[in-house]
Structure 1
Amino acid sequence: MVSPGILLVDKPAGLTSHDVVARTRRAFGTRKVGHAGTLDPMATGLLVIGIEGATRLLTYIVGADKTYEATIRLGQTTGTDDADGAILTRASTQDWAGVTAEGVADGVRALTGSISQVPSSVSAIKVDGKRAYDLVRAGEEVVLAAREVTVSRFDVLAQRQGDGFLDLDVVVDCSSGTYIRSLARDLGAGLGVGGHLTSLRRTRVGDFDVADAVGIDALDDATVLTPAEAAVRVLDRLDVSAEEARDLRHGKRLVGQAARLAGALAAAIDEDGVLVGIVEKRGSDLKSAMNMPEAVR
């Protein structure tokens, strides 16, 4: 029997997130595998994979904040806002005349904090039940609605001048749902020279770090986090007695116990260190928002 758990994978370029899921299914001998947030084929880095019953935890991981390392190329636009698309425009010498180091810094600051961002038209967002990127590939014009996101850090680490372009190596801490391709596009647009993404690597999802991830060729011998180990990385921990664990598993409330939670949700861990499930406040009580199978360890 396959043990449930959370697997951290360092996705290489050229594979889709679905490819990684498919390989994980083969390596672990189960169909019940999912992931907490897509990475484009061009991108590398951390994919958080759920196996068996631990797929239930992905709902609580997908919304975690993230860290990316990227290279933004100013001076060129592409049809996909990244290097996978054909180059549409190139900045002229006249376009570059007004671009200064201070202007670049101002542009980065303008895209830091709480911002309204229009996702790239080739994102995985669904429009009328279909992925935006599928509609674009089918020749349809897609304009997605702006959304509020938070970019808590947008730092330029290095820059390199090329023939008609300027590459910026950046690191970005952001809320879930932020598109780094859109940051590249909008930074270039604000400077009047255009921009797109040439590389992207996700290094962190919540408290999960790519440094702890396995490569795609090491799945057969990979160690997974137990559901309990993974849950307490994204949620507060609530230790429960054997009787409380039994009640939660049977759908009963812990009457008058809401004050034990500092936040809205917590991971309930029993006396054996097993994840019972995720609990939430309901008035003055605590109740299960999600229960794990009782055999999970």
Structure 2
Amino acid sequence: MAKPPRNPASGILFVDKPQGITSHGVVSRARKAIGTRKIGHAGTLDPMATGLLVLGANNATRLLTYLVGLDKQYTATIRLGASSNTDDAEGELSEPADAAALAAVTDDAIAQAVAALTGAISQRPSSVSAIKVDGRRAYTLARAGEEVVLAERAVTVSAFDVLTITRGEFIDLNVLVDCSSGTYIRALARDVGEALNVGGHLTVLRRTKVGPFSVENASALDSDLETQLVAPATVAAQLFETVQLDAQQSKDLSDGKRIALAPQAATPIAALAPDGRLQGLIQIVDGRAHVLSNFPRDAQPLQQQQAAALEGDTVSEEGTPNNG
């Protein structure tokens, strides 16, 4: 049986990941829904977590490099009163803190612990993170029973706001965190619990923003994902300065020429072709455009090529109709 034609459409896909599925499971679903194997992601979420997952299809995977390092925003619930060997609710919990120790944790003490973890800090990643140790993932070693202690790394927690405090058998903190890429919210939960001497772990995690992109505009995983692809030009315009090319500039840039453009300090700059598509990301050096990444025009889907042929058109090797 012949394989179905690959869908060449390029775009960025913003998905609201549900709980209980891995990020790679979302990628697999997207591959089937869109009709291409060329799909990548700009950072994963744990199966327990929900929220914004950013995928790229076909040529738009080239944009993911610029999305990975964007700041993130999360809402989360930190449970004080027990620690976890995974720093979240999916691990083995310690014995609960005694009631007297938990009662001694005042609102002011919580505020001080949170304040100490705000700003530019050194953070020890969770032992079940995806960081590699001697070529193996830390979580693989930890789950095999090996002791894993990762080196601290510099991160920035620009906001760590306690929204509500609920007291009962445990103390649950609903929090909002704005942070740099590479910050572990599980580690924040662990460190708050350690600072208060009662232990802490994460029970709920939701990614609400990646850079300027919000989960409010993301697609549900069970929606028609093929129709939810966002044009690379639209995404690039939210990340970078743009320059509009005329037809000759567009051709020259495609031919590898370093076209003359007005100096701009911004890097990268999104170069838009006359038809509005993203032609490439460039930097301008001495008044000339240097290409950082090309974004080739998508090939025409096979079914459109066949339809064009039936109408008497010929199709070029690039998949665009030649009408004479």
TM-score of the aligned structures, taking structure 2 as reference length: 0.86
CA positional deviation for 1:187? 0.9
Aligned pair 1:172/2:152, yes or no? no
The 8 Å contact of residues 9 and 298 in structure 2, kept in 1 or not, is answered as no
The verdict on how the C-alpha distance between 1:216 and 1:295 changes in structure 2, with shifts beyond 3 A counting, is closer
CA positional deviation for 1:282? 4.2
CA positional deviation for 1:293? 1.1
Aligned pair 1:236/2:255, yes or no? no
Question: What does residue range 104-119 of structure 1 map to in structure 2 within 5 Å?
Answer: 104-119=110-125
1:152 aligned partner: 158
What is the CA–CA distance in structure 2 between the aligned matches of 1:228 and 1:296, rounded to whole Å? Answer: 17
| Aligned with 1:135 (options 133, 141, 164) | 141
1:142-183 deviations in whole A, cap 9, x for unaligned? 2111111111111111111121x1000001111111110011
| Aligned with 2:228 (options 191, 216, 223) | 223
What is the CA–CA distance in structure 2 between the aligned matches of 1:211 and 1:44, rounded to whole Å? Answer: 13
Aligned pair 1:259/2:263, yes or no? yes
2:276 aligned partner: 273
Question: What does residue range 173-192 of structure 1 map to in structure 2 within 5 Å?
Answer: 173-192=178-197
CA positional deviation for 1:93? 3.4
TM-score of the aligned structures, taking structure 1 as reference length: 0.93
CA RMSD of aligned residues (A): 1.8
Question: What does residue range 1-297 of structure 1 map to in structure 2 within 5 Å?
Answer: 1-96=7-102, 98-163=104-169, 165-220=170-225, 222-255=227-260, 257=261, 259-260=263-264, 262-282=265-285, 285-295=288-298
Letter in 2 for 1:204: K
The verdict on how the C-alpha distance between 1:92 and 1:264 changes in structure 2, with shifts beyond 3 A counting, is same
* 89-98 vs 193-202, which moves further: 89-98
The verdict on how the C-alpha distance between 1:138 and 1:249 changes in structure 2, with shifts beyond 3 A counting, is farther
* 201-210 vs 129-138, which moves further: 129-138
CA positional deviation for 1:271? 1.9
The 8 Å contact of residues 251 and 287 in structure 1, kept in 2 or not, is answered as no
Mind listing any 5+ residue stretches in structure 1 that lack a counterpart?
none
Please tell me whether Structure 1 or Structure 2 has the larger radius of gyration of its CA atoms. Answer: 2
CA positional deviation for 1:265? 1.2
Letter in 2 for 1:104: I
The verdict on how the C-alpha distance between 1:281 and 1:106 changes in structure 2, with shifts beyond 3 A counting, is farther
